Amino acid sequence: MLGFKRSGHKSSNNTKYFKKHISAKKRKPFTPKVSRQKRKKLKPAAKRRIIIGSIVLTVLVGIFFYLTFLHNSFIISQIEITETNDDNQIPSDIQSILNTAKNQNLVTINETGLIEKIQKNHPEIANIDFKKSFPSKIRVIITYHPQLANLIINDTPSNLPHKFIINNAGKIFKNNADNPNLPTLILKNINDKEFEDIMSEEIIFNGERVQKAIDAAILFEKNFDIKITKTQYYKTEREAHLLSEKGFYVWLDLTKNIEEQLNKLKRSTGKLDLHKDSLIYIDLRINCQNGEKIIFKRTK
């Protein structure tokens, strides 16, 4: 009996010991131990790397600062200009503005300021690109809006025809000039104020509508085998009047689809013979419910 009790007492003590030992392991996760000697060796090495890195960075910053601001290594001495203009002539004021960049620092040059000055006086320019070529050269690439058409005003205050070229952005490319490789439109119903704006190149045309007037003449010739000898462009009215070789005009609305207006005329060929009938004009601008209304006037 006594032996049995002592054996039970030892078993109880062993159970408590194992439970305490296991719970202690759960509370403290295993972490590798690093000796104090190794820790002391790591710290000085890290400090040395930081010190060396700081010294190198300071030296590099100092060299950059010296070359950029105190030395003449990056002073602009050459400016090369490339243009997409067909004339291959650089306006003198553009040359003067770009020349102000000479003797300035290539790194700190204010490109935006130069571009704004040029585009303010030259709306015909679409884009200006600066490319730095170290140590002392700038390449300037000037891209113009493509030329679109010649415009002629016959009814001027001086009663003398005035010609000028516009680009596809609707801006005047050049006054008192024409390009034989471009289509020509006659500008109608221009008042004195608009003429002054044209002379000062402050007016902006709708390039899309001018292009539609040009396309209308091409499309008419293709569809009806009749040559268009003159295209009149009405800026305010937003219309185009095409004069055919047969002597009649075709009136079109430039705010609407040109092909649809000409298709109305194609479907009316049973009523009109464009090659034989004597006509003054054909008006395709008017719309009705079925879209087939055409107004025309005969000479007799």
- The dihedral sign for the CA sequence 151, 154, 156, 158: positive
Q: What is the pLDDT of residue 114?
A: 93
Q: What is the pLDDT of residue 124?
A: 81
Q: Are 214 and 232 in contact (CB under 8 A)?
A: no
Q: What is the pLDDT of residue 4?
A: 46
Measured CA to CA in angstroms, residue 166 lies from 52, 187, 204 at distances of 64, 12, 9
Q: What is the pLDDT of residue 247?
A: 95
Q: Classify 208-298 by CATH class.
A: alpha beta
Q: What is the pLDDT of residue 12?
A: 52
Q: How far apart are the first and last CA of the chain?
A: 148
Q: Are 251 and 237 in contact (CB under 8 A)?
A: no
Residue matched to tokens 């205050």: 157
| Six token digits for residue 76 | 């602009």
Ordered by start, the domain boundaries in the chain are 78-144, 147-205, 208-298
Please report which residue ranges of 66-138 form alpha helices under DSSP H. 92-99, 111-121
Domain 78-144, second-level architecture: Roll (3.10)
Residue matched to tokens 């001495």: 77
CA–CA distance, 155 with 192 (Å, rounded to integer)? 10
pLDDT in tens, the chain (300 residues): 444 444 444 555 555 555 555 555 455 555 555 555 555 555 677 777 787 888 888 877 766 665 555 456 788 889 999 887 766 578 889 999 999 999 898 888 889 999 999 988 887 889 999 998 888 899 999 998 999 999 999 888 777 889 999 999 998 888 899 999 999 999 999 988 889 888 888 888 999 999 999 999 999 999 999 999 999 999 999 999 999 999 999 999 999 999 999 999 988 877 889 999 999 999 999 877 665 688 999 987
